[in-house]
Amino acid sequence: MSTKEEVLEKSKTSTKKNKNHEIVLFNDEHNTFDHVIETLIYACDHTPEQAEQCSLLVHYKGKCTVKTGPYHDLKPRWSKLLDAGLSAEITD
């Protein structure tokens, strides 16, 4: 086996894909901007600016990805959003 083949084989076997998921927040007619912003800061560790931008995107586009990461990190955050009365889902 040549050196080039050996290095290629090692890189193929050492690469593992960590599947990231997304929390998608959806627009609704009953939550205020302030409530959405405060909840994003609390549940997703957003800065106030990030939370405000996401709330505007949700309002005008109907939805926005508010957090990306491994499922085990997103699930408790998603639960906090739901507990606060927001509409969200975790996607692949």
CATH number at residue 41: 3.30.1390.10
Position 1 in a domain: no
Look at residue 19 and tell me whether its pLDDT is greater than 60: yes
Query: Is residue 12 in some structural domain?
Result: no
* HSE, side-chain direction, 13 A CA sphere, residue 89: 5
Average pLDDT of the chain is 89
Residue 47 lies in a domain: yes
Establish if 74 belongs to a structural domain.
yes
pLDDT at 14 over 50: no
Whether residue 85 lies inside any domain: the answer is yes
Closest to 20 (Cα-Cα) out of 89, 67, 68: 68
- Is residue 53 assigned to a domain? yes
CB atoms within 10 A of CB 86: 21
The pTM for the full model equals 0.80
Question: How many domains is the chain built from?
Answer: 1
Is 9 part of a structural domain of the chain? no
